A and B are shown apart, each in its own frame.
Chain A
């Protein structure tokens, strides 16, 4: 039987929360022509039904709290419960309340900015972007404004990304009005310097890199890359999705990057929330600081304040001050761990990945770019196995699968990021499971999973005849 929709639990006239004693007559205040004729068909349920409905739904969902979740490039580490309590302390603040009554919030933002600048080696920061891709857009627009300011806006029209880049990188460059060109990776999985040199020139605005890259490999020639970029007047952009690997050990600023975005929901434990909300602060070197979005948080003689006075700013990228409650969680994480804790966390994320990689190699999996991996690695099943079937098989064995079919340069890719908060025995059990799957009959794999809340879903049907709402009659 299918799990009921909240609309199917609805009964006309049934009531849940009542927040108001007496309801005034609408027409006393609002002329008839502005009023809706029919009420919205929202569910009508009592509170217990509501609780059972969503509790039931939650049991049809896995998260880090229930299951090993080694989703590559997503850093699905444990989200400390402390942070939820921390966020509640700041829930009742209005973005437009007098700044003198929000000094604690502004101080926390300023401090977090300082910590993130220290960790990335950047000179200035904005906490406004709401997610990683939003940070990317902010960063690329800052670079664009910089080139325009120098009179090179019309000539520098191209953004270079490696062929292993996250899809959001080229999508961001397009949204910022740039042409995008992919640069092939070399045989070792790192940026091909010769290929990069051929592309660099006065027509290039920026290079977007992830380091470690999506194969989990540190770009060892990064100083050479940043030197070449600098010589060509090209800005170097750091996609911070993989910062967890090097947090505290190496800084994008020291590697020569001009802009970096961070994913507080990856590296700094803000819960992923089933897809969001996240937070994507952007740090920049001094020469780009004038272009940061407004407002920035500053410390003045009379306390902390929001600075709107940035004449060269790219403008606003989000309303208010960003996803503030996410910032509270990141602050709590950094203060709990301090530098030694952050370095240990990073190193153990690397150790876990390397250990799991070694285990998988003994189970029959290949690692096509088998350099010294950082926090994640990309494995390939033996000939004849599909990554999709292995992912579905893992579901049956009680694991969330790795990212599959990414990066695009590896066929049947399994991109595994165990994170530092997983134990040795979990990694071993996962490797056992992946090994076991190779012994299963093909028939079994092709139809897995079996005991999940639903079996494989008809994706084609959803694409051809999407039904996007309950009341959609098709």
Chain B
């Protein structure tokens, strides 16, 4: 099975037409030393056998549906209507909409996505998507550095550690410096920002789950001529004050929490929103409304002079392929829920997380770590190594206790609850935790 339509006879006729004797002959001009190397691959299989083999592998996993795990990805409901619509072949098998006359589906859906992200973040514009939250952050910070012409970045320790690692990789590449602001009492301290810093980065709710009032930090950044880059879970923005309202100049985050399958970490999508004034420095694709030759409304990729295929070495970013389909899923999710539905899902997670927090704190030796108020994730200090606890819980059928890196302290684990959890789920986890920690 190779999905090719050619009959033997057609192959013969076509070979004759191009002056080749065999398929092998099509490669005769390659240096002999590199031609036809021995390659060891498993034998081909029929479709059912491939699925069988995949099921065998899948059975070695324990799905984390209804997981209490946290840290940038959570177990949420993926609406079948979103799966069905995003799975339509026209969306699935198109590529970058370079031909707008036959790409209005992707273009308009992207324009609508940009609008929804701008609404959620309280900022004016959003691009068509980035790979994930971490690279969206890196690109958002690079945008801030282009705007300010500076090469220093301050990042709060409250930003997801993996996001900070990716940020460091990107900043080292261009020779910019990165300084980490340690958390104080689980929150980002308000600091004086010196001249020379181009971007200050913080996350709300932060990695520990705590709510942060970033307005004073935004003011401090602005006094120094720096921009504030905020990392925000888009689901939380159904309830929380949007980054634009507390002074963020750029907002970024990961779209998984908008009902996307966890998929062992991807693909999800990253969003990037900012002010209109910065639009010409933005990375990635942008869709604009315009009109066609008959005056009819249509949508088109715009400001393409920022992009690699036009500007080459002077492009704002090298990004080409982004996360269009997963971003489209995020937009479908937002449209399926509407403002009320989104708020309900977000608050239900908040309520369940707080209830779980109470229940787990009843267990001897378990201590609170994330300061209140927190949102839908929180960190606890456990009397045992979190890796051991996670493993022991897994053996009892629970996915919980994301180990928190030691830079935050010893024996810390992250927990979350979502709209998928009921009181009895929380009680069951509590009972398992009691056993594991006894």
Cβ contacts under 8 Å, B320 to chain A: 131-133, 168
- B272 contacts the other chain (Cβ, under 8 Å)? no
Bound complex: CA of A220 vs CA of B308, how far in Å? 28
Given A273-B325, A468-B287, CB of A40 within 8 Å of CB of B296: no
Given A61-B105, A277-B322: A250 and B37 interface contact (C-beta under 8 Å): yes
CB–CB A358/B339 < 8 A: no
Give CA–CA (A265, B326) in the complex, Å: 14
Q: Which segment of B85-93, B194-202, B218-226 sits at the interface?
A: B85-93
Quick check: which of B180-188, B330-338, B361-369, B424-432 contacts chain A, the rest being far away? B330-338
Contacts of B6 in A (CB 8 A): 348, 351, 423-424
Known: A96-B69, A424-B10. A58 touches B58 (CB 8 A): no
Determine whether the beta carbon of B69 is less than 8 Å from that of A94.
Answer: yes
B177 at the interface (CB under 8 A from A): no
Q: What 3 A-B pairs have minimum CB-CB distances, sorted nearest first?
A: A320-B265, A61-B105, A273-B325
Q: How far is the CA of A372 from the CA of B104 in the complex (A)?
A: 37
Q: Does A421 contact B (CB under 8 A)?
A: yes
Name the interface residues of A1-55: CB closer than 8 Å to any CB of B. Answer: 1-3, 5-7, 14-20, 23-24, 26, 28-31, 33-37, 39-45, 47, 50-51, 53-55
Query: Are A34 and B267 touching (Cβ within 8 A)?
Result: no
Nearest CB in chain B: distance from A251 CB, A: 5
Is B435 positioned at the interface, with any CB of A under 8 Å from its CB? no
Verify A322–B51 contact, CB threshold 8 A: no
With both chains docked as a complex, state the minimum distance between the C-beta of A337 and any C-beta of chain B, in angstroms. Answer: 5
Q: Are A58's CB and B91's CB within 8 A?
A: yes
Also in contact, A45 and B335, with CB within 8 A (given A69-B95, A96-B69, A395-B99): yes
A88 vs chain B, min Cβ distance (A): 8
- Taking a contact as CB atoms under 8 Å apart, the answer to whether B116 and A92 are in contact is no
Q: Across the interface, do A89 and B135 meet the contact criterion of CB distance under 8 Å? A: no
B173-A132 in contact (CB<8A): no
Query: In angstroms, how far is the closest chain A Cβ from the Cβ of B264?
Result: 4
A383 at the interface (CB under 8 A from B): no
Assuming A34-B373, A400-B102, is B41 touching A64 (CB within 8 A)? no
Interface string of B15-42 (1 = CB under 8 A from A): 1011010011011011101111101111
How would residues 122 to 142 of chain A score, 1 for a CB under 8 Å from any chain B CB and 0 otherwise?
000000001111101100010
Contact residue among B373, B393, B402 (Cβ-Cβ distance under 8 Å from A30): B373
Q: Which residues of A contact B55 (CB under 8 A)?
A: 89
Bound-complex Cα distance A91 to B241 (A)? 31
Q: A95-B265, A274-B91, A275-B128 are in contact. Are A44 and B338 (CB under 8 A)?
A: yes
Could you tell me the distance between the alpha carbons of A125 and B89 in the complex, rounded to whole angstroms?
31
Closest B-chain residue to A349, C-beta based?
Answer: B4
- Tell me, yes or no, whether A197 is within 8 Å of chain B by CB: no
Question: Does A461 contact B237, Cβ atoms closer than 8 Å?
Answer: no
Residue pair A277, B321 in contact (C-beta under 8 Å)? yes
Q: Assuming A93-B262, A469-B125, is B18 touching A18 (CB within 8 A)?
A: no
Question: Chain A CB within 10 Å — which of B96, B263, B298 has the most?
Answer: B263
* Residues 42-82 of B contacting A (Cβ, < 8 Å): 42-45, 47, 50-51, 53-65, 67, 69-73, 75, 77-79, 81
Residue A321 interfacial (CB < 8 Å) = yes
* Among candidates A1, A18, A250, A453, residue contacting B34 with C-beta atoms closer than 8 Å: A250
Does A60 interact with chain B (Cβ within 8 Å)? Answer: yes
- Is A456 a contact of B293 with CB atoms below 8 Å? yes
Inter-subunit contact A18/B341 (CB<8 Å): yes
**Taking the complex as formed, is B359 at the interface, i.e. its CB lies under 8 A from any CB of chain A?**
no
9 residue pairs A–B, Cβ–Cβ below 8 Å: A23-B348, A65-B89, A96-B73, A168-B308, A168-B318, A277-B131, A345-B3, A422-B5, A462-B300
Q: Assuming the A-B contacts A35-B239, A108-B57, A395-B99, are A17 and B169 also in contact, with contact meaning beta carbons closer than 8 angstroms in the complex? A: no
Smallest CB–CB gap between A140 and chain B, Å?
8
The one of B23, B78, B265 that contacts A324, using a Cβ cutoff of 8 Å: B265
A426 nearest in chain B by CB position = B5
* A284 in the interface (beta carbon within 8 A): no
The answer for the CA separation of A167 and B308 in the assembled complex, in Å, is 5
Interface residues on A, range: 35 or more
Q: Is the CB of B292 within 8 A of A457?
A: yes
Residue A147 CB within 8 A of the other chain:
no
CB under 8 Å from chain A, chain B span 282-325: 285-294, 296-300, 302-303, 307-315, 317-325
User: In the complex the two chains form, is A167's CB within 8 Å of B315's CB?
Assistant: yes
Q: Is the CB of A315 within 8 A of B168?
A: yes
- Does A318 count as interface, using CB distance less than 8 angstroms? yes
Other A-B contacts than A40-B242, A319-B72, 14 sampled, CB-CB below 8 A, are: A17-B341, A42-B339, A51-B85, A84-B92, A101-B394, A131-B320, A176-B173, A273-B324, A275-B106, A336-B50, A345-B2, A351-B20, A401-B99, A466-B303
Residues of A within 8 A of B42 (CB): 335, 338
Number of interface residues of B (CB under 8 A): 201
Q: Are A454 and B106 CB-contacts (below 8 A) given A42-B339, A137-B173, A319-B265?
A: no
List chain B residues, Cβ under 8 A from A89. Answer: 54-55, 58
Contact indicator B92/A63 (Cβ below 8 Å): yes
Of B4, B56, B125, most buried by chain A (CB within 10 Å of CB) is B4
Residue in B73, B101, B299, B303 with the greatest tally of chain A CB atoms within 10 Å: B101
Contact pick for A15, options B18, B173, B338, CB 8 Å: B338
A245 and B63 CA atoms in complex are apart in Å by 38
Q: How far is the CA of A457 from the CA of B288 in the complex (A)?
A: 11
Contact call B102/A277, Cβ cutoff below 8 A: no
Is A278 in the interface zone, CB < 8 Å from B? Answer: yes
Q: Report whether B239 and A97 are in contact in the complex, using a CB–CB cutoff of 8 Å.
A: no
Given contacts A173-B313, A457-B292, A469-B118, contact A82 B336 (CB under 8 A): no
Measured CB to CB, the closest approach of chain B to A63, in angstroms, equals: 3
- B101 and A455 within 8 A (CB): yes
By a CB distance below 8 angstroms, the chain A residues around B371 are none
* Interface flag for B189 (CB, 8 Å): no
Which residues of the partner chain B approach A251 to less than 8 Å between Cβ atoms?
Answer: 34, 37, 39
Question: Do A7 and B112 touch (CB < 8 A)?
Answer: yes
B152 contacts the other chain (CB 8 A): no
The residue that B341 contacts in the complex, of A15, A61, A62, A74, with Cβ under 8 A, is A15
A118 to B41, CA, bound (A): 8
The CA-CA distance from A365 to B402 in the complex, in Å, is: 61
Question: A198-206, A230-238, A326-334, A432-440: which one contacts chain B?
Answer: A326-334
Minimal beta-carbon separation of A167 from chain B (angstroms):
4
Whether B62 pairs with A97 at a CB distance below 8 angstroms is yes
Q: Distance (Å) between the CB of A103 and the closest chain B CB?
A: 4
Q: Does B382 contact A (CB under 8 A)?
A: no
With A220-B30, A458-B291 known as contacts, the answer to whether A354 contacts B341 (CB < 8 A) is no
- The residue on A at minimum CB distance from B285 is A275
Which one of A95, A316, A331, A340 contacts B262 once the chains associate, using CB atoms below 8 Å? A95
Residues of chain A within 8 A of B337, CB atoms compared:
16-17, 19, 42
**Cβ–Cβ contact A325 & B211, under 8 A:** no
A102: chain B residues within 8 A (beta carbon): 61-62, 264
Q: Does B309 contact A61, Cβ atoms closer than 8 Å?
A: no
On whether A47 and B336 interact (CB within 8 A), knowing A78-B3, A103-B61, the answer reads: yes
Whether A93 touches B54, Cβ cut-off 8 Å, given contacts A275-B128, A350-B26, is: no
Chain A residues with CB below 8 A from B279, complex form: 466, 468
Of the candidates A3, A275, A324, the one having the most CB atoms from chain B within 10 angstroms of its own CB is A275
* B residues less than 8 Å from A254 (CB atoms): 33-34, 37
Measured between beta carbons, the chain A residues less than 8 angstroms from B230 are: none
Beta-carbon nearest neighbor of B6 in chain A: A348
Q: Which residues of A contact B293 (CB under 8 A)?
A: 447, 455-458
